[in-house]
Each structure stands twice: as structure tokens, then as C-alpha cells.
Amino acid sequence: MSDNPLDHNFKKQHDYLIGIDSDGCAFDSMEVKHKECFIPNTVKYFNLAAVSKYARQAAEFVNLYSKGRGINRFPALIETVDLLREWPDVIRRNVEIPQLQEVRDWIAREDKLGNPALEAEVAKNPTPELSNALAWSKAVNATVDDIVHNVPPFPNVRESLEKLSSVADMIVCSATPNKALGKEWEEHDIAKYVAAICGQEAGSKKETLGQAAGHGYAKNHVLMIGDAPGDMKAAKAVGALFYPINPGAEEQSWQRFLDESCDKFLNDQYAGEYEAALIAEFDTYLPELPPWKS
């Protein structure tokens, strides 16, 4: 059976479609997941203890504080080790940073970058490197499951979902594993507002949003809400509009959405100058280069 919820029960019910990212957008969960779950396991599984300070800074930059924020865990892992491999302070430590070429090759040929796809790859090609990457990813999931509880959605997320529930079809469109998404949205009783919860196993955000949008929504009636440039790219790739949740100003962003932007979208007043101004503001929040390069 497909891991994509859109393949099963999703049907167009309203004239508007809204995709919503989860970690860092609907939930204030990015910091705890990366700092307490991802990074300790990255140090452990890729033997980075000798440069753990730099590994932490690199991983935090890639996943939280750069324009790459929110990307899938496997490309993020590659970006992290690449930053470490070229960082002069790390080079001077004379510590071997893994190249992870087999993981790179797998990413290049796989479009559903999640554990099920990597498990299938390891079953065919059980190399130490791929097996270790799978063990790392499973350990991350286990640590998230163990640690991340009672993290509520940002203020005004629930109110926005309630406001939209009678006029728009809504889906979760995320790079987080399906199981973790379902748990978090159910825990806080907001899963009832969305028609589908689509994580990394369903495909990329572009694929998920594009598949849902293909059910017959009119131009400018599809909106992606996200906190990362990757969310915006996914939206633009399928011809959708984008509403930014500005990193560090999430509460203000949701307040503005509830009070103003939501109505502009539903009244066909969002596209054009209004959206462009929001995106220009969003672009100022995250840098492209890490502090040690800029």
C-alpha cells in the first residue's frame, strides 16, 4: 500500500486548498528536535565527537538558521558534513569527516527520502555506510518519539484552522516522517481540521502539494504556508501562492494570517503586490552563508 495519504481518501471538497508545513511552522518543534534529537545522534553515528562543537554549529545552521532551513534530513546531513569538511577550524583538528558518497548517490536517484525507501535500498545493497545512515535516521526518530511531547502549536494556528475548515481543503505538507506528524497533530487535536497528513514518505513538498493541487483548484486558490525557503520553492514550482511564517516571529506571522492574510487569500486579493511584500520581508530573515564564512 502507498505511504501517500493523498492516494487514498483525498477529494476536493472546497474551492481553496492550503498546504501547511509542520515543524517550525505550525509547531515550535524545530529547536528541540534538532538540538536534542538530531545533532546528538549525528555526532554519535558519524564519529564527530572530536569536532562536536563545530558539528553542532554546522547542523544548526543548515537545519535552523539558514535559507536551507527545513530541508529533508538526508540532504541536510550531506550539507552538514560538507560544511565541516571545508571549515578551517575543523581541518586543523585532523579529524576524518565522512564523505557519505553512497548516501549522496542514493539521494540523487530516490524521490521519497524516508526510512522505508532507505530500508529497501539497504536490503538490496547492505553496505556499512548505507546501513549506518539508516541506523542514524531510526535513532533520530526514536529520540524524537522519546523526547518531543507536549509541544503545542503556535498561538493562532488552531484558530486559523478553525476559521478555514468550512471554506478550504487543508493538508499537512512536511518533510517530517508520517508517524511523527500524525502523533503531533493528533496529540493537540488539530488533525481533525486537515484532509491528509503527508510527510517525507509521501514524497517531496513539491510533489505532495502538486498532487493535491491537481484535483482541480483554480489559479490563485492554492496556498502553501511555510517557514522555510524550500516551502516557498515548492509552492512556486506548482503555481501556488506562499504565505511565510517568519523564523523567530512565528506568533506575529500567525496573528497576521488570522487577522488579514487569510481573508485576502479567500477574497482573491492575495496574489501580486501583497504576496510580494510578504516574501520580500521573509527573505531578510535567513542568511545564505554561515557566520564563519560571512
Tally of CB atoms within 10 A around 218 = 10
Distance CA 147, CA 165 (A): 31
For the entire predicted model, the pTM comes to: 0.89
**Exposure of 199 by Cβ count < 10 A (0-12 exposed, 13-18 middle, 19+ buried)?**
buried
* pLDDT tens-place string over residues 127-178: 999 999 999 999 999 999 999 999 999 999 999 999 999 999 999 999 888 8
C-alpha 112: how far from its chain's center? Answer: 13
Cβ–Cβ < 8 Å for 223, 269: no
pLDDT of residue 172: 96
Tell me the pLDDT of the chain averaged across its residues: 95
Query: Which domains does the chain possess?
Result: 5-29+153-282 (3.40.50.1000), 30-147 (no CATH)
DSSP β-bridge partners for residue 225 = 20, 243
pLDDT of residue 204: 87
* pLDDT tens-place string over residues 96-111: 999 999 999 999 999 8
Backbone φ and ψ for 48, nearest 5 degrees, come out as -110, 20
**Low-confidence winner among 57-61, 89-93, 200-204, 223-227 (lowest mean pLDDT):** 200-204
- Rounded (5°) CA angle 137-194-67: 50
pLDDT average, residue stretch 107-129: 95
Residue 2: pLDDT band with limits 50, 70, 90: low
